[in-house]
């Protein structure tokens, strides 16, 4: 990998969740692409063959969809989970839907969802 790419990757690692979201949006607009995963059409199943079993999902994302009435409590939970600064956590709470945590186990995702539920927020586990 070139030194230029290595420096770019290190810079990306230092961005906050909101900055990453803005970067992805800017790249999508600049180059006319989408970061959304593409659906792949399944081919016909051979006669007598069974379709392969779907792989079980092992990593989940927690998405804040509604902050509810107690935004200050929700901001505190966002900060606790993400280690974001106050402004970034406030922005994440106000600009829903927002991915709060990615690549977590089902148990951790459920625990995070429960924390948000306790303060009146709504989340989705994807």
More confident residue, 40 or 82: 82
| pLDDT confidence band for 8 (50 / 70 / 90) | confident
Say yes or no: 27 and 65 in one domain: no
pTM: 0.53
CB 57, CB 79: distance < 8 Å? no
For tokens 């030194």, what's the residue? 3
Question: What residue numbers bound the domain in which 4 lies?
Answer: 1-33
On whether residue 48 sits in a domain, the answer given is: no
On whether residue 40 sits in a domain, the answer given is: no
For tokens 């989408």, what's the residue? 34
DSSP secondary structure, 41-95, as one string: PPPPPPTTPPPPPPPPP--EEEEEEE--S-HHHHHHHHHHHH---HHHHHHHHHS
Q: Three-state SS for 98?
A: strand
């Amino acid at each position: 990998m070139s030194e230029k790419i290595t420096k770019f990757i290190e810079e990306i690692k230092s961005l906050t969740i909101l900055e990453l979201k803005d970067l992805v949006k800017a790249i999508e607009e600049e180059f006319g692409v989408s970061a959304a995963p593409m659906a792949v059409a399944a081919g016909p199943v051979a006669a007598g063959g069974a379709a392969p079993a779907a792989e079980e999902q092992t990593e989940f994302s927690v998405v804040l969809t509604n902050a509810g009435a107690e935004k200050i409590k929700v901001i505190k939970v966002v900060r606790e989970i993400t280690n974001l600064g106050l402004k970034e956590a406030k922005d994440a709470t106000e600009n829903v839907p927002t991915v709060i945590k990615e690549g977590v186990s089902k148990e951790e995702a459920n625990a995070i969802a429960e924390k948000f539920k306790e303060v009146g927020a709504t989340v989705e586990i994807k």
